[in-house]
Structure 1
Amino acid sequence: MIKIEKILEKECFDIDDTLTDKDSVLRKIAEMAAHCSKLVHIESEKLYESLLQREKLGTTGLGNGIAIPHCVLPDIDEFVLGMLMVPHGIDFDALDGKPVKIFAFIVAPQKRRNDHIRLLSVVAKILGTEPVRKKLLSAKDKDELFEIFSSKFTKLCPIEQQRQFYLFNIIVQNDSDFLDILGLLTELPDTSLTIIEAANASNYLKALPLFMSFWGEGKKRFSKIILATIPKKYSNEALRRIKDIARKNKSQSEIMVVVLDTVYTFGELEY
């Protein structure tokens, strides 16, 4: 469970317009993180190398002037979340090729993958909103930068764990909808999920003489089932957003959602 009061520290927020390239940004982030109370035992060079290795796997520059550099360490227990703003922008190999001005960074415990994925999703959602980006860029100093971001973050990241769950059975017959729904589920706190490979009924019905004229011999249609335990507190939001995805993609006939109440749940699934 992510604790807001433990994850955000003002020491991990800064504005620096003197940086010139991707490497200098990563080194600056490593130095900032090393000064956080939870990482005082970690050398900044180790943090830099971990961030660099993650970038070699693929850029964390998401586009729209934002990037979320992150790494995992085996010898820490708590998350560090911070932000570096470079007002003039840096070439960070972003997906859209544009300079990056806002860098939210995460140093995560290796043993807490689920929380790491959830935290990445929440931060990406916050920074994916243009009014939020504009407000962050208007910050005059690091204290104001901290206040703006923390106010948004606390609204999306819960302080207390929700113990009551609904079991969502989401049957999807469209790969685009599937990825959109999977993305939104990773944002919901305390949600566990797994994917079941399924088969469209037409794959079998076309083998019956009575129905074979309805389908040709083309490839099998997409079909997957998402099973997710979602805290009851967030169930209405989940349903609303799934419906929004179906309406946006005009695919109401390719999504079915069945919600069941749970009597008892135990454990948590790794992503």
Structure 2
Amino acid sequence: MQLTRLLSAERTRCGVTVTSKKRALERLSEQLMADIPAGSDATRNIFEGLTVRERLGSTGLGHGVALPHTRSPDIESPRAALIRLSTPISFDAADRQPVDLLLALLVPEHSNDEHLRILARLAELFRDERLCDQLRNCNSDAELYAIITGKDDGNTAG
């Protein structure tokens, strides 16, 4: 699956200001559902799903990157939202470094193998220090989207 099939320009934001992990997860939940008329219940359920997943263990990969993820019965295909924070926040990452790049993944409730394949590919993508530096230096939502999708090799799901 191509990254452009997961992430849209409308779900990509540069220079987001949040003060906590909770606020970042709320913002990502809103962005994940912004273009779906599923209503506030779906957004609240996604936030709760992301929060429950974080309680199991931080999705902070290290080096300032986090990949929060959850499942939802309200969607039929995987989707993602990307934010670059204006100021890094504590995210309980293994390396104890604050996080400023967050890509949230939302998959249909029944997507087990696909969920894991996409997460593995995204983790691999964000290990690229040059890419992360480019994302951190973006100046607009459009530039952030262009940089991340410009790395798309058409093999996001494995």
Question: What TM-score, normalized to structure 2?
Answer: 0.91
Matches within 5 A, 1:45-64: 45-64=44-63
User: Which runs of no fewer than 5 residues in structure 1 stay unpaired?
Assistant: 159-186, 190-271
- Residue of 37, 41, 46 corresponding to 1:40: 37
1:126 paired residue number: 125
* 8 Å CA contact 1:6, 1:78 repeated in 2: no
Q: How big is the shift at 1:143?
A: 0.6
TM-superposition CA deviations, 1:178-227 (whole Å, max 9, x none): xxxxxxxxx7x2xxxxxxxxxxxxxxxxxxxxxxxxxxxxxxxxxxxxxx
Match of 1:192 in 2: none
What aligned pairs does 1:75-86 form with structure 2 within 5 A after superposition?
75-86=74-85
- One-letter amino acid matched to 1:78: S
**What amino acid is the match of 2:38?**
H
Residues paired across the two proteins, number: 156
Q: Which runs of 5+ in 2 are unaligned?
A: none
Q: Secondary structure at the match of 1:155?
A: coil
TM-score w.r.t. the length of structure 1 is: 0.54
Structure ID, larger Rg: 1
**Whose relative contact order is higher, 1 or 2, with alpha carbons under 8 Å and at least 6 apart?**
2
Which residue number in structure 2 is paired with residue 140 of structure 1? 139
Runs of 4+ in structure 1 off by over 3 angstroms are: 2-6
For 2:63 and 2:37, locate their aligned partners in 1 and report how far apart those are by CA, in whole Å: 33
Residue equivalent to 2:72: 73
Q: CA deviation at 1:4?
A: 4.8
Q: CA deviation at 1:41?
A: 1.1
Please state whether the residue corresponding to 1:32 is helix, strand or coil.
Answer: helix
Q: 1:75 to 1:31 in 2, by over 3 A?
A: closer
- Residue 147 (structure 2) pairs with residue 155 (structure 1): no
Q: Which amino acid aligns with 2:107?
A: A
Query: Could you give the per-residue CA deviations for residues 131-183 of structure 1, whole angstroms, max 9, x where no partner exists?
Result: 1110111110111000100111x21527xxxxxxxxxxxxxxxxxxxxxxxxx
Distance 1:35 1:148 in 2: 22
Identity of aligned residues (%): 27
Q: What is residue 239 of structure 1 aligned with on the other side?
A: none
